[in-house]
Structure 1
């Protein structure tokens, strides 16, 4: 996952809206989003290399997503995808999970991690000390620490803010994610390609787009669009709808 655009408590009818692209090597084995057989409360895609996920939701109204930090040397060898899975299975609040993770985060590969228990939204990475509770607003999480900005995150946040001022629809959010316009001018074709919201490069690129819309009545709508990575595949669009249940 290389770009997460999110609106947190910015719309009275939809406390959480997420539009996110997952960028990955085409050869990496992946399962599309679905409810996990061994954990039917989790709706998420699955990385078949390590067993974790890049973005997921639980029937208890929990949300989590992760990105890598592109130009950071790995300090640990644990998969960052485990953070999504572990939070969705946890009963801890977002802040409790982040506080516990703070003492363990050096054991993971470089990450940005966001998580919501429905009441609060937390952000943490493993290149800076501490963690944050996010105030209501619109955010863009890329492959750099949130304390930094680049053209891709700035443009993403601006476009998400403009869209939120209108009537939000899943198709508009998908259109937002499919923008292939580079945000930098560069002779380096790799950096130029990676600066686009929708990444397309030799053997690497945007594998899927995820849309999450949580309503104030506890109803969640989730869309995932999987993109074809070779001539034998076709694009697919899935839609899931469920209502959260109280944590017993």
Structure 2
């Protein structure tokens, strides 16, 4: 994932609402959202190169999602795939807080990342760049390729869009969030971050929805989590067109 916008405990029905875009090189082999054959309680897409994932949920309502921290100077050779963090959080048999706390001793194992994970009434955020475990309070948040709520224009635009949508027409919640994620307007130069890539790439990476010849938004995902049910919708973008997977599950104990 390169953008996660989420509303936590601010909606009267859905305790967690997530709208997220996964940006990746177009040639990287990927499976769309499905129940994993080797972990049938997990619903997620899958990176077929490293067998991890960027976002997923379990039948019990455990949720996890990740974005990369952009630092072109970081040495990544020999480090592990960040996608295993999400997969491991979903597979972890103990308390999700214990799993998140265990990452503090492994910050150098992975390239820079932001990880969200939670279950029930708990949601946590950890970055191996910020190196501080945070219990998420009720509110609307966004994280892209820096730290949580860094005021990049795409994050601010996503948070404002989320607020407007969840306070609007409830029958169109999923569709409106998916449409928001397809906003491809670039930020003006004066609002671009300086992350160490070229000005051309800062412009290209600034929209919510990224498009370029070899790299871009591969999928958009919306998840609505209520006390007893979860709705999970993924829209996949390929050169051949657009496809969509929709799942509804009752939460098991």
TM-score by length of 2: 0.91
Report the equivalent of 2:70. Answer: 70
Equivalent-residue separation in structure 2 for 1:62 and 1:52 (angstroms): 16
**What does residue 42 of structure 1 align with?**
42
Shift of 1:147: 6.0
Which residue of the partner structure matches residue 80 of structure 1?
A: 82
Gap runs ≥5 in structure 2: 191-197
* Residue in structure 1 matching 2:138, options 122, 136, 139: 136
Specify the alignment match of 1:24 in structure 2: 24
Separation in 2 of the partners of 1:182 and 1:94? 37
Displacement of 1:48 in angstroms is 1.0
TM-score by length of 1: 0.93
In the alignment, which of 203, 224, 236 is matched to residue 226 of structure 1?
236
- Of 154-163 and 59-68, more deviation after overlay is shown by 154-163
Please tell me whether the aligned partners of residues 74 and 110 of structure 1 are also in contact (alpha carbons under 8 angstroms): no
Call closer, same or farther: CA 1:171–1:147 in 2, change over 3 Å: closer
Shift of residue 235 of structure 1? 0.9
Q: Write the distance in 1 (CA, Å) between the matches of 2:44 and 2:90.
A: 10
- Unmatched 5+ residue regions in structure 1? none
1:168-219, Cα deviation, whole Å (9 max, x unpaired)? 4110010110001112337933211200000001200000000101122x11
* Residue aligning to 2:98: 96
CA distance in 2, matches of 1:184, 1:63: 34
Distance in 1 between residues matched to 2:229 and 2:75, nearest whole Å: 38
**Count of paired positions:** 242
